Amino acid sequence: MTDRIERVPDEETADQPEFWNRLTDDEEVLGVSAGWDGEKWWTVYVSAAEFVREGALEERLDLAVSTALREVPDVVEVQRDDRETWVVSGTGAISGEALVGAVAEVVDELAPALRELLEE
């Protein structure tokens, strides 16, 4: 299984000047990416979160992702923006690679429960 984080080449990101993606063979469960708007906000995408719609697993995922993002250096604010997206802002130069890496650890930990949910 591929499991590394890479910056997407600039010419492939039309609306975000910087974009990072976790390369994985299990995108539906382990997919995580982050894009910067060029001014203030990073948007972090968690593929599996689209399917986690209620209950304890949704609460656990939301709390774990939000906590992991807050622990990334220079992050000051984290908000859940949509089903599978969180927005992050802060001071200094937040690392997109660090955002993806922090959330990838959360997704890896929750992967068995996420797979079980997706198999239902």
pLDDT higher than threshold 50 for residue 1 = no
* pLDDT reported for residue 10: 81
The answer to whether 56 touches 50, Cβ cutoff 8 Å, is: no
The answer to whether 29 touches 12, Cβ cutoff 8 Å, is: no
If you average pLDDT over residues 23-48, what whole number do you get?
94
Distances (CA, A) of 102 to 44, 46, 55, 106, 108: 11, 12, 23, 7, 10
CATH number of the domain that residue 16 is part of = 3.30.1360
**Could you give the strand order of the β-sheet that contains 3-7, starting from the edge strand earlier in sequence?**
3-7, 18-24, 32-36, 42-46, 85-90, 75-82
pLDDT higher than threshold 50 for residue 93 = yes
Whether the full predicted model's pTM is greater than 0.75, yes or no, is yes
Q: What is the DSSP letter of 8?
A: P
pLDDT higher than threshold 80 for residue 34 = yes
- Which of 36, 34, 26 is CA-nearest to residue 97? 34
Q: Please give the full DSSP string across 14-72, using - where no structure is assigned.
A: SS-SEEEEEEES-HHHH-EEEEE-SSS-EEEEEGGGGT--SHHHHHHHHHHHHHHHHTS
* pLDDT reported for residue 106: 97
* pLDDT reported for residue 102: 97
Mean pLDDT of the chain: 92
* pLDDT reported for residue 2: 53
Amino acid at 85: T
Q: What is the pLDDT of residues 36-85, one digit of tens each?
A: 998 899 999 999 999 998 889 999 999 999 999 999 999 999 999 999 99
pLDDT higher than threshold 90 for residue 88 = yes
Q: Which domain holds residue 82?
A: 3-119
How many domains does the structure of the chain reveal?
1
Q: d(Cα 113, Cα 75) in Å, to the nearest integer?
A: 28
